[in-house]
A = this chain, B = another copy of it.
């Protein structure tokens, strides 16, 4: 499963780097059927998803991935599930927050798009 781990690594590098620098650009990763569940709120489609992400109430955010796991999600196509746990720091906080995030990536042309995206903060 070397390939799938490499894809997951490249995807999460790109995703969190883009999130932390200009999250409007994440638009390229979603499609009209894409779903985001953010802290229990269900959102469908590119524009609503990007609106949600862009309007999150912080200016600065830095994600740090702690664990990254990937598995093929289908026997019929090269889709994959990516499960991330990590920490994030918002604005000038010194308190990292723990988060869990799950993606399903669907192949499209030479790349992938995000079909499923589920994000949760983990409170201690």
A18 to chain B, nearest CB (A): 22
Chain A residues touching B, range? 20 to 34
Q: Determine whether A9 belongs to the interface, using a CB cutoff of 8 Å to chain B.
A: no
Q: What's the nearest-Cβ distance from chain B to residue A115, in Å? A: 7
**CA of A111 to CA of B75, assembled, Å:** 19
A113 CB → nearest B CB, Å: 13
> Chain A 56-77 against B: per-residue CB contact (8 Å), 1 yes, 0 no?
0000000000110101111110
By the criterion CB–CB under 8 Å, are A73 and B71 in contact? no
Tell me whether A12 is interfacial, beta carbon within 8 Å: no
Q: Please list the 5 inter-chain residue pairs (A to B) with the smallest Cβ-Cβ separation, ordered nearest first.
A: A100-B100, A83-B118, A37-B69, A69-B118, A83-B102
